[in-house]
A and B are shown apart, each in its own frame.
Chain A
């Protein structure tokens, strides 16, 4: 019996020791290098200024919508600030699961006094969403497996003859459907009109059918870099920051395909239904973490573009590698020659419809 008692008291001591420290504030993010950049650019300086706040990370952004819905139903919201992609933010806002934010009163203005709503501009795609970074979903390919003519066109992904081998695509319709239609001959500005129809959706799936057997489907951000590093796939879609770290930090024989990459946004939301005290704290953190300097600081650690216009000139060199970060940003003019604009409203409306079809197609 003695060891039991000892264990219990040791555990109790450990638990209370943990509890005695500062108040925990739970931030939800994606893990990996991205979360590390947030830790260095936002969380560490914030904790230095507020020693009474202890920031805890939860890497659950991928399931944020499901979990917030469950928390909301259970009336027990354990998260304080949540990092989500813009389309999830729209969905959360629509369902009343996220708090509405007034950018001009609740966010910091630019250093020259420009109000936040202007500084962020049209990146404020939802009333609840505070944009943080601009990223793009694009393809990386193995330079040693594609022969003498590296792919330079998005449709090379669908060309199994010129580029045999597996490709990795995300296990969801968003982006894949657009690319499929583009390569099926739909002009860029008509893609969403076509995709809104049943025939257009079937057409996109039919195009994807042509490569279905050669696709490895990924669902976690770390998958494609691993598959590329293994040589398991010839090319694969992923976020440009992941590819940057694969190429520049890990020195893998991989290159990026900057064509029809899809611009997207990632940012914060504050869950609805927090107590006043926690809400105040969350707002205070957001005010700090989305100001001009902080957003520019984040770009030192990862190749995503800051969401504020005023941050762009402040983007410097990579904190460890010392390379210039600007040319690696998805916003750089050289990279953004032929980008594809993601239509938030469309996907907010059609996500459920098309996702149901896509998942059924996948399981066939």
Chain B
């Protein structure tokens, strides 16, 4: 303390440490305190969400099943040239029978068949059918096996079968990702799927397009309503807010089934139109089980997610600005477009990103009102998870979808900043 007055050294803080050091320490302490506050949640989310999702997404490249089920065959196939157009030699067939006998015993072969069937239709039945007969063979005494196997099923006499096994024998594969963009692994490198199996890219496109349309529809509908809510006196706007919150509080399933009741051909909308005579009885509108149905229902379901952020932004826009503009001679339109609208853009941005991200991952509503033409990529993911059991492809599709969303999130963060998102 005493020497602070006559030293020429660095500036000192009250306790005698150099000010720079003291500031750095306090900054460090501040950082530490902030991190300590964040830590519990961060650890919780990391462990119970990020890690499991990562593990799930890892399935999109994981492919040890071929090697685990047919270890000897995979090894024997190494020396076979899959591009030669000739069948593999006898040692491959023998190794295959050895592997299959074990696999049938452990009930693994049907799983492998299902796995390979994702790549080449027909493999599942080939493995199942052959499994029952190969079970009876003795690998030590019954050789040679080449003709016997071809006898059991002529699929084993097809070079393509062995090509598929060899191509997909790698433990880490890009096969699922290729499948996800309508391509496939072949001995000659990645190639396009046959014409009639190309559906996923189209579905991605449709998902993005419809999510955009839904977001656009939400902006159009939410803007006037939010404006009205933000300009009306509080007691009126709070009452009207109930009308916005009520659908929001009502179960998603209920709202979706309500839309089903409304949209179907014998539904409320069509019945009313027919009763009013606006539509002939035999020309009822088809507004369900197609894209229109999905768009209408999802616009309704996601509308509150647009209104709430817009409303909270618009509430903060001081009315004096528009009045000032008007008093200086601006027309109504100029006032709105040059003064009010620019200030409301953060609300539009926040609502749009929220609606778009939610829309892109939706699956229950499209499933119920979308028919076959109005479904999203998420429906495909759900189908592969719960019905075709192709979890690898589901994970690959999910990874791509997640990447799209993350890019959007990043762009949004750059342009608007995630801090500016407000929900009510």
**Cα of A360 to Cα of B121 in the assembled complex, Å:** 12
> What A residues does B264 contact at CB under 8 A?
230, 232
Q: Is B6 an interface residue (CB 8 A)?
A: no
Instruction: Given A65-B389, A66-B387, answer yes or no on A217-B125 (Cβ-Cβ < 8 Å).
Output: no
Most chain A C-beta atoms within 10 Å of own C-beta, residue among B123, B197, B202: B197
CB distance from A213 to the nearest CB of B (A): 10
Contact of B173 with A by CB under 8 A: no
Instruction: Count contacts on B: residues with CB < 8 A to the other chain.
Output: 35
Q: Which residues of B contact A159 (CB under 8 A)?
A: none
Check if A352 sits within 8 Å of B124, measured CB to CB.
yes
In this assembly, does A216 line the interface, its C-beta being within 8 Å of a C-beta of chain B? yes
26 A–B contact pairs at CB < 8 A?
A: A63-B386, A63-B387, A65-B389, A66-B386, A69-B389, A96-B107, A96-B108, A166-B265, A216-B371, A217-B372, A230-B264, A349-B129, A350-B124, A352-B117, A352-B124, A353-B121, A353-B122, A353-B124, A353-B125, A356-B121, A359-B388, A360-B197, A362-B372, A363-B372, A364-B196, A364-B199
Q: B294 on the interface (CB 8 Å rule)?
A: no
In the assembled complex, the CB of A80 is this many whole angstroms from the nearest CB of chain B, namely 21
Q: Which of A320-364 contact B (CB under 8 A)?
A: 348-353, 355-357, 359-364
**A199 contacts the other chain (Cβ, under 8 Å)?**
no
Count of A-B contacts judged by CB separation below 8 Å = 74
CB of B266 within 8 A of CB of A230, answer yes
Those 5 A-B pairs whose CB atoms lie nearest each other, nearest first: A96-B107, A352-B124, A349-B125, A363-B199, A66-B386
Hey, which bits of chain A sit against chain B, CB under 8 A? 63, 65-67, 69, 91, 94-96, 166, 196, 216-217, 219, 230-232, 348-353, 355-357, 359-364
Chain A residues closer than 8 Å to B108, beta-carbon distance: 96
Query: Would you give the 0/1 interface string for B94-134, flagging 1 where the beta carbon is closer than 8 Å to chain A?
Result: 00000000000011101101100110011111001100000
Within 8 Å CB of A356, what residues of B? 117-118, 121, 197, 388
Residue contact A352 to B199, C-beta cutoff 8 Å: no
User: Is B289 a contact of A216 with CB atoms below 8 Å?
Assistant: yes
Q: Given A63-B386, A352-B114, is A363 in contact with B203 using a C-beta cutoff of 8 Å?
A: yes
B196 to A360, Cβ gap below 8 A? yes
Q: Which residue of B lies closest to A226 (CB)?
A: B260
Task: Check B128–A348 contact: CB distance below 8 A.
Answer: yes
Residues of A near B113 (CB, < 8 A) are: 352
Which among A96, A219, A231 is the interface contact of B106 at CB below 8 angstroms?
A96
A126 to chain B, nearest CB (A): 12
A15 to chain B, nearest CB (A): 20
**Chain B positions within 8 Å of A350 at CB level:** 124-125
Give the distance in Å from the alpha carbon of A63 to the alpha carbon of B385 in the complex: 10
- Distance of A351 Cα from B124 Cα, bound (Å): 8
Q: Known A216-B371, A356-B117; judge A94-B199 contact (CB<8 A).
A: no
Min C-beta distance of A355 to chain B, whole Å: 7
Chain A residue nearest in CB terms to B128: A349
Question: Which residue from B121, B266, B389 sits with its C-beta under 8 Å from A231?
Answer: B266
Q: Which residue of B lies closest to A354 (CB)?
A: B121
Output the nearest chain B residue to A231 by Cβ-Cβ distance: B266
With A96-B107, A349-B128, A364-B196: A357-B266 Cβ-Cβ less than 8 Å: no
Which residue in chain A gives the minimum CB-CB distance to B105? A96
Q: Given A217-B371, A349-B125, answer yes or no on A66-B389 (Cβ-Cβ < 8 Å).
A: yes
> Which residues from B are CB-within-8-Å of A96?
106-108
